[in-house]
Structure 1
Amino acid sequence: MSERTPVLIVGAGLAGLSTAVFLGLHGTPSLVVERHESTSTHPKARGQQHHAMEALRLAGLEAAMIGASPKSQGFLLRIAESASGPVFREILHDTFAPLDHLTPAGAADASQASAERILAERARELGAEIRFATKLESFEQDENGVRAVLSDAAGTRAVHADYLVAADGHRSPIREQLGIGTHGRGTLGHSIHWLVRADLSAVVDDRQVMYYLQNPKLSGGTGVLASTDHPDQFVVGVGYDPEREDLADFTEERSLEQIRLVTGVPELDVEILMTDTTVATMRVADRFSAGRVHLVGDAAHTMPPQGGMGGNTALMDGFYLAWKLAAVLRGEAGPGLLDSHDAERRPVGELIAENQYRNAIVRNRPDLAREGDAPPIEDPAVLLFGYRHNGAVVREPGDEGELLEDATRPTGRPGSRAPHLRLSTPDGVLSTIDLFGRSFVLLAGTDAWAKATDEVAATLEVRLKPQLIGGEVTGDWTGPYGVDADGAVLVRPDRFIAWRSQGPGTAADLEKALRAVLDR
């Protein structure tokens, strides 16, 4: 039996489900297959930073993520000997630090398990089919598409897809079959994690906590303690050397000893609910695309957890890839648009993975420090909103394609994120960010540009809308976007600037730019 789907997504984690959600938002159905029985049930990454929440806001999921966040007094991140102290350094006091000057979106603190359930529900609402306990057995591709063989309890079946998205984890059999190598810092270390139930109210107050521990009494000299969605359940971890020991060497007695050392409570009454091992690595795929196959999430980049950007980066991979796949499948763009997935997301993936590695050195692996290592970037404005995309954009003369810029001083250059500005409308105050998400948008201040937009949209048959700023919708937008009052700015569906005319222009100028961006 054979079936057909525009996009086959392998893996129902944050990256795969995000891709399905945003494909659906652009009107493109997908088939998601996941070898496990359900979305994640184990506490993993948590937290949705402001840039990810902007994307989730466009998908109608901002309120759901906030609703799934624990009702705590904030987030506490400490480097310490144990959860009871002494404390060496306090890194972060509040996950929900306001960035109102940069975005209309807040942050959330939903766990990965909650976030995946929310994404899966929304993906189905938008037309995706999700099949659990289903494995990709093999695939092959040619110029006409991808042929995959799937297996489940009922047997095997063939699926024909136009494109395959590899969201199949850090080991990624798809990446391996494609012969795509990886580069990076390699393995940082191995650890054993326990999910435990214990009363730590005397140690942990009403906040979500993450402790990175440095203590020679701990196995491997390092440890971690993190909150979960349940106030009496915590993830506790310590290092170990898989060359010398394995899970069987951590007897119940030794496990309890290590857990009590982590908490700093010698007589702690604790129940172990789950035990697992994990490895911290920093690896980035050498390519994010190969023909009709595109890598997202851990298949594209793995990084240490320190910094909390791994899950956010995986989610954003899907956001940035989906609109491009949808545009090509609708015939609005040429296949060359998809070349920009590697050109745009790999530099960002490398940047964030390297920054997480630097965070790991500072927080609980000082033994890895080397002379000349740069400190981690700690400014959220840079990490969340300061990176640029240099693929599907029309770069301007003199633009050297720098990866980072100061988001608090926006330039409006093509390749940078469209600045958040508050506009006055008859219905109240609106952020420019809320104008984007489903189509290309031309921001302009004159009727001539609005007419040009309609003309180009009809000629190229693309989703392109004008947004006049002036008249009923007003706001001081020209400075941050780097144009004159009679200029215009073309913004992609992912709220990145594709092109701008700093002064007057014509429909031919706009059409030429859009053709370049869309590989037409």
Structure 2
Amino acid sequence: MRVVMTVLVVGAGPAGLATAITLARYGVPTLVVERRPEPSPLPRATGISTRTMELIRSWGLEERVRAGGVDVRWQAWIGPSLVSPHGTALDTIWPRPDVVSRLSPTAPACVPQDVLEAALLDHLTGFAHVEVRFGTELVAVRQADGVVEATLRDVGNGAVSACRPAYLVAADGAHSPVRNAIGIETDEVGDDDGPRGVLGSPWLAARTTLFTAPLPEGSLWDVLGERRHLIYTITNPEAGGVLLPAGDGRWIFGQDCDPDAPTPAYEALADQIATAIGLPGLRPTILRTGTFSFDAMMARRYRDGAVFLVGDAAHRMTPRGGTGLNTAVHDGHDLGWKLAWVMLGWASPELLDSYETEREPVGRRNTTLSAQSFGSYRDPAEELDFDLGGRVTHAWVDQAGGDADRGITTTHPGATRRVSTLDLLGPGLTVLTGPETPATDGQPLALALGGTLTSRVPVRTCRLDGRTAEALGIPAGGSLTLRPDGKPAVHWAPELVPSGASSSWLTSVAARK
């Protein structure tokens, strides 16, 4: 049996789902395959960054995702036990809500990964041109003369099918069979001072235990009162580790462990957890326990021909800093819109070269920091700036132009409502102008595209009021052209030629007239 699709995505975790959703929203036929028979029930990561929430918001999923989360203080608590009032609250990489509110229309969320994946999967399966197959694995892949040949196998009945996607996206995790099959090697990334586990041990292995701990008087949240934090570091030497809320009454207990030691009995784990919580008589219910390697690695390349790596397949991070899931989602979105532009004829294939150029430094930076012992405790302002990734400044505007300070009139239809400048972004190029910019002035794009504006790329033009234009750095009579991810492509002023760090990739569009 031969399956025909445009893009094959291997893996239905955050990276694969983000890639597929972005492609789907452009109308690109996509097949997603996942070896597991069903979505993972494990919470795994719980911190969703500001930029990730901006993407989720743009997909119309913010309300649903937040509904499955936990309301926390974005700090760590360090103390002898969970319930002990004798401890210290410390800032981590996560910014304060009052800071975020000035820079974004949304904010970080503490949402378990399984809840996030369920929301993304439901959204994805709503597109008629997308198919998602669980219980299906990729068993072979080869490339010849620019053609990808992939062989898929139904894990349940062993049935084999072949497909020839235009592009293949490997979102199949840190041990990526696709990456191994195409011969991309990896390098370990470590702390210069030596490896450190959860609490600074020399072991590069950790055990995580998922549990519930119902109390006669309510829940652990009720006992904690106002001390509802993102993460708790327990310093008791008899039960040292970290505790994280995982939603729906679930908690995660993480500990350093000797990878060669046998798994403790559930009863022993329950006793340790009760000690870490600080309620010795408590009998937690162990839902699952397992170990994972607490190391970090980078793929030497993000691409081989028409095969691309995203998420953990490209970079494996430790849990420190909570950047693994978020970097994966950002990878998927970046690759997704670039693949879509090429598939739709809006850009030449050279645009795809920018995926590794732009995303590899981000992955390397986050992977390196996650391998360091202080990886969870970095300057929140610096981390927020890096997370936002250089996208256009957020400002609240009125689409109908009824606000004297933030008024906006647009050349595309839209409801009368107060929106963020991020909401103005279209699937193609978005041109923001000031009130004095001539409405018919196409010179910025003409210059950026080598003098020719391709008719295939949708262009959305939005005229901002003077104050907002000034806040966004748009000079009088000038404009700011944005990519679909909000990053500036061209800054233009009447007396200047276009400038911008990412303008070079835009010229590839001119090759497809």
The TM tier, using the shorter chain, reads 0.7 to 0.9
What is the CA distance between 1:60 and its match in structure 2?
1.5
Q: What is the DSSP-based 3-state SS (H/G/I as helix, E as strand, rest coil) of the residue aligned with 1:125?
A: coil
Partners of 2:211 and 2:130 lie apart in 1 by 35
Specify the alignment match of 2:413 in structure 1. Answer: none
Indicate if the aligned counterparts of 1:35 and 1:135 stay in contact, CA closer than 8 A.
Answer: yes
Decide whether aligned partners of structure 1 residues 452 and 285 sit closer, same or farther in structure 2, where only a CA change above 3 A counts: same
Matches within 5 A, 1:472-487: 473-487=464-478
Specify the alignment match of 1:216 in structure 2. Answer: 237
Please, which moves more after superposition, 103-112 or 169-178? 103-112
Q: Which of residues 180, 187, 199 in structure 1 aligns to 2:184?
A: 180
Q: Which of residues 319, 326, 336 in structure 2 aligns to 1:322?
A: 336
What is the CA distance between 1:130 and its match in structure 2?
0.5
Decide whether aligned partners of structure 1 residues 49 and 164 sit closer, same or farther in structure 2, where only a CA change above 3 A counts: same
Specify the alignment match of 1:382 in structure 2. Answer: 385
Specify the alignment match of 1:421 in structure 2. Answer: 395
The letter for the 2-side match of 1:182 is T
Indicate if the aligned counterparts of 2:172 and 2:313 stay in contact, CA closer than 8 A.
Answer: yes
Q: What is the DSSP-based 3-state SS (H/G/I as helix, E as strand, rest coil) of the residue aligned with 2:63?
A: helix
Residue ranges of structure 1 left out of the alignment (5+ in a row):
364-374, 388-415
Percent identity over the alignment?
Answer: 31
Cα RMSD of the aligned pairs, angstroms, is: 2.9
Q: Does 1:192 align with 2:207?
A: yes
Decide whether aligned partners of structure 1 residues 481 and 474 sit closer, same or farther in structure 2, where only a CA change above 3 A counts: closer
Q: What is the DSSP-based 3-state SS (H/G/I as helix, E as strand, rest coil) of the residue aligned with 1:476?
A: helix
Q: Which of residues 472, 497, 507 in structure 2 aligns to 1:516?
A: 507
What is the CA distance between 1:34 and its match in structure 2?
0.4
Indicate if the aligned counterparts of 1:66 and 1:108 stay in contact, CA closer than 8 A.
Answer: yes
Q: What is the DSSP-based 3-state SS (H/G/I as helix, E as strand, rest coil) of the residue aligned with 2:125?
A: helix
Indicate if the aligned counterparts of 1:336 and 1:518 stay in contact, CA closer than 8 A.
Answer: no
The letter for the 2-side match of 1:205 is G
The letter for the 2-side match of 1:109 is C
- Deviation sequence 1:103-134 (CA, Å, 0-9, x none): 12233332111110111111122332110011
Q: What is the DSSP-based 3-state SS (H/G/I as helix, E as strand, rest coil) of the residue aligned with 1:5?
A: coil
Please, which moves more after superposition, 110-119 or 482-491? 482-491
Specify the alignment match of 2:175 in structure 1. Answer: 171
The letter for the 2-side match of 1:463 is V
Partners of 2:354 and 2:442 lie apart in 1 by 29
Partners of 2:368 and 2:256 lie apart in 1 by 21
- Deviation sequence 1:17-75 (CA, Å, 0-9, x none): 011111111221210000112222012112322211111122111222122223x3645
Specify the alignment match of 2:422 in structure 1. Answer: 433
Partners of 1:108 and 1:286 lie apart in 2 by 32
Partners of 1:230 and 1:93 lie apart in 2 by 25
The letter for the 2-side match of 1:217 is E
Q: Does 1:68 align with 2:68?
A: yes
Partners of 2:432 and 2:326 lie apart in 1 by 28
The letter for the 2-side match of 1:361 is F
The letter for the 1-side match of 2:241 is G
Partners of 2:497 and 2:386 lie apart in 1 by 36
The letter for the 1-side match of 2:172 is D
Specify the alignment match of 1:235 in structure 2. Answer: 252
Q: Does 1:281 align with 2:295?
A: yes
Q: Which of residues 251, 256, 259 in structure 1 aligns to 2:273?
A: 259
Count the aligned residue pairs.
Answer: 465
Partners of 2:330 and 2:165 lie apart in 1 by 23
Q: Which of residues 476, 479, 490 in structure 2 aligns to 1:488?
A: 479
Specify the alignment match of 2:200 in structure 1. Answer: none
Decide whether aligned partners of structure 1 residues 310 and 74 sit closer, same or farther in structure 2, where only a CA change above 3 A counts: same
Specify the alignment match of 2:133 in structure 1. Answer: 131
Indicate if the aligned counterparts of 2:172 and 2:178 stay in contact, CA closer than 8 A.
Answer: yes
Please, which moves more after superposition, 155-164 or 481-490? 481-490
Please, which moves more after superposition, 14-23 or 46-55? 46-55
Please, which moves more after superposition, 104-113 or 288-297? 104-113
Decide whether aligned partners of structure 1 residues 88 and 466 sit closer, same or farther in structure 2, where only a CA change above 3 A counts: closer
Decide whether aligned partners of structure 1 residues 439 and 88 sit closer, same or farther in structure 2, where only a CA change above 3 A counts: same
Decide whether aligned partners of structure 1 residues 376 and 502 sit closer, same or farther in structure 2, where only a CA change above 3 A counts: same
The letter for the 2-side match of 1:149 is T
What is the CA distance between 1:450 and its match in structure 2?
4.5
Q: What is the DSSP-based 3-state SS (H/G/I as helix, E as strand, rest coil) of the residue aligned with 1:150?
A: strand
Partners of 1:301 and 1:330 lie apart in 2 by 29
Decide whether aligned partners of structure 1 residues 84 and 429 sit closer, same or farther in structure 2, where only a CA change above 3 A counts: closer
What is the CA distance between 1:279 and its match in structure 2?
2.1
The letter for the 2-side match of 1:268 is L
Indicate if the aligned counterparts of 1:436 and 1:493 stay in contact, CA closer than 8 A.
Answer: yes
Decide whether aligned partners of structure 1 residues 517 and 436 sit closer, same or farther in structure 2, where only a CA change above 3 A counts: farther
Decide whether aligned partners of structure 1 residues 285 and 39 sit closer, same or farther in structure 2, where only a CA change above 3 A counts: same
Matches within 5 A, 1:9-408: 9-70=9-70, 72=71, 74-85=73-84, 86-91=86-91, 97-98=97-98, 99-126=100-127, 127-152=129-154, 153-154=156-157, 155-183=159-187, 184-185=189-190, 188=197, 189-198=204-213, 199=215, 200=220, 203-205=223-225, 207=228, 209-218=230-239, 222-231=240-249, 233-243=250-260, 245-247=261-263, 250-358=264-372, 360-361=373-374, 376-379=378-381, 380-385=383-388, 387=389
- Deviation sequence 1:146-182 (CA, Å, 0-9, x none): 1111111341100110111110011111112222223
Partners of 1:515 and 1:121 lie apart in 2 by 33
What is the CA distance between 1:242 and its match in structure 2?
1.3
Indicate if the aligned counterparts of 1:424 and 1:474 stay in contact, CA closer than 8 A.
Answer: no
What is the CA distance between 1:454 and its match in structure 2?
9.2
Q: Does 1:467 align with 2:461?
A: yes
